[in-house]
Amino acid sequence: MSILKKLALAAGVSALLSSAAYADLSGKVIGFSQIGSESGWRAAETSVTKSEAEKLGIDLKFADAQQKQENQIKAIRGFIAQGVAAILVAPVVSTGWEEVLTEAKEANIPVILLDRGIDAPQDLYLTSVASDQVKEGHVAGDWLVKTVADKDCKVVELQGTVGSSPAINRKKGFEDALAGHANLSIIRSQTGDFTRAKGKEVMEGFLKAEDGGKGICAVYAHNDDMAVGAIQAIKDAGLKPGSDILVVSIDGVPDIFQAFVAGEANATVELTPNMAGPAFAALDAYLSAGTVPEKFIITESKLYTPADDAQGEYDRRKGLGY
C-alpha cells in the first residue's frame, strides 16, 4: 500500500474514532440553566455551549435565568420532570443549591457545574468545569504589584455579583497578592454586578468620592465589562484610563483588547468561554464507560497585557459570540 493510501486510511480511522468518541451524546436531551447575559463573556459561553452541543448532535434545552437563582431552580426542576440525560448549570450564587441538586441526584440525572462553584456536598454534582478564581485574582494582583513597584498605589475594586463564587474568590486572590505590599491598598470596593452599566455607575461614585479620581492609582474589576464601564467613567471625569488610572480586570473579551489598542486598559486574565467542551467530554466518558471525571476540571488563567499583540487577540476573538 502506498504511503499516501496509508495516511488516508489513518485519517479516516481517526475521524471515525473522534465521532465515535461522542456517539453516546448524539440525540441526548441535555438541559442548560444559564445565568443570563450580564457580560460579553457570558454571551460567548452561551454561544459556544450551543455550538458544541450542535456539533455533537445534542438536543440542548436552554433556559436563561435572568440573574435569578429562583429561575435556575425552576428550570432545573423542569429538566428533571422532562427526564433529561444530564443538566449543565452555571450557578449565579454559591449557596442554596442542596435541595434541587438532591432532587436531580434522586432522579439519577448527572449535573455538571459550569464556570462558578457552589457550597454544597460534592456528591451532588458529577464535576465542575471552571477556572481557579482565587488564582485569577492573584494573577491580576501580582501584575499590579510588579507594575507599580515601590510607588504608593490606592486601588478601587469593582466586585462581581454579591454571593457569586467569582466575586468571592477573585477578591480573595487579589487581596492575597497585595498582602505584604504596604504601598498598595484597596481604598474602596463595591459590587458592579458584572455589568458594564453598573461598573460605570460605581466607578463614577468612586471618582466623585476621591476628589475627581486624583488619589486613585488603579481600578481592579472582577470582569472586563465592568472595566469597560469604568474606562468610560474615567474618561468622562477628564482623566486618562490606562495611564492616570491603571485598569486591570478578568475575562479577555474582545472589547478589553480594543481598550489595550487604544491605550486605555493595562491587563486582563483570560477566562475561556469554552466550558462546555470539557463538560461534554466528561459526560460522554461517564455515560458511555462509567468513567467518573475529576471533581474539578480547571481551565487556564493566562495574563494578557497590551504587549501581547492586542490587535491580533481582538481579531481572534471578535467572531466568537462575545
Contact with ligand AHR (CB under 6 A): which of 91, 93, 100, 115? 115
Contact with ligand AHR (CB under 6 A): which of 22, 28, 30, 42? 42
- 251 is an interface residue for ligand AHR by CB under 6 A: yes
CA distances from 19 to 7, 16, 49, 55, 282 (A): 18, 5, 18, 10, 15
166-195 mask for ligand AHR (x: CB under 6 A)?
x---------------------------x-
**Interface of this chain with ligand AHR, residues 255 to 274, rule: CB under 6 A:** 271
- 204 is an interface residue for ligand AHR by CB under 6 A: no
Q: Side chain identity at 263, as an amino acid letter?
A: G
With a CB cutoff of 8 Å and minimum separation 6, the contacts of 154 are 185, 187, 210, 215, 216, 217, 218
* Residue closer to ligand AHR, measured from CB, 25 or 221: 221
Do the bridges between strand 267-270 and strand 302-304 make them parallel or antiparallel, or are there none, so unpaired?
A: antiparallel
Contact with ligand AHR (CB under 6 A): which of 28, 61, 116, 196? 116
* Residue closer to ligand AHR, measured from CB, 45 or 52: 45
Contact with ligand AHR (CB under 6 A): which of 38, 255, 264, 270? 38
Q: Using an 8 Å Cβ cutoff, are 25 and 288 in contact?
A: no
Neighbours of 76 (CB within 10 A): 24
Q: Using an 8 Å Cβ cutoff, are 158 and 199 in contact?
A: yes
Long-range contacts of 232-236 (CB under 8 A, 24+ apart): 232/200, 233/199, 233/200, 233/201, 233/203, 233/204, 233/207, 234/203, 234/207, 235/264, 236/204
126-165 mask for ligand AHR (x: CB under 6 A)?
----------------------------------------
With a CB cutoff of 8 Å and minimum separation 6, the contacts of 55 are none
Of 285, 296, 302, 307, nearest to 113 by C-alpha is 296
* Residue closer to ligand AHR, measured from CB, 41 or 97: 41
* Residue closer to ligand AHR, measured from CB, 28 or 42: 42
* Residue closer to ligand AHR, measured from CB, 80 or 177: 177
Q: Using an 8 Å Cβ cutoff, are 137 and 301 in contact?
A: no
Contact with ligand AHR (CB under 6 A): which of 46, 223, 268, 272? 223
- 39 is an interface residue for ligand AHR by CB under 6 A: yes
In whole angstroms, how close is the CB of 223 to ligand AHR at the nearest point? 4
Contact with ligand AHR (CB under 6 A): which of 155, 178, 230, 250? 250
In whole angstroms, how close is the CB of 114 to ligand AHR at the nearest point? 8
Q: Using an 8 Å Cβ cutoff, are 30 and 60 in contact?
A: yes
Interface size with ligand AHR, residues (CB under 6 A): 13
In whole angstroms, how close is the CB of 34 to ligand AHR at the nearest point? 11
- 48 is an interface residue for ligand AHR by CB under 6 A: no
Per-position b or e across 227-236, b if 16+ CB within 10 A of its CB: bbbbbbbbee
Determine whether 312 is exposed, middle or buried from the number of CB atoms within 10 Å of its CB (0-12, 13-18, 19+): exposed
> Footprint of ligand AHR on this chain (CB under 6 A)?
38-39, 41-42, 115-116, 166, 194, 223, 225, 250-251, 271
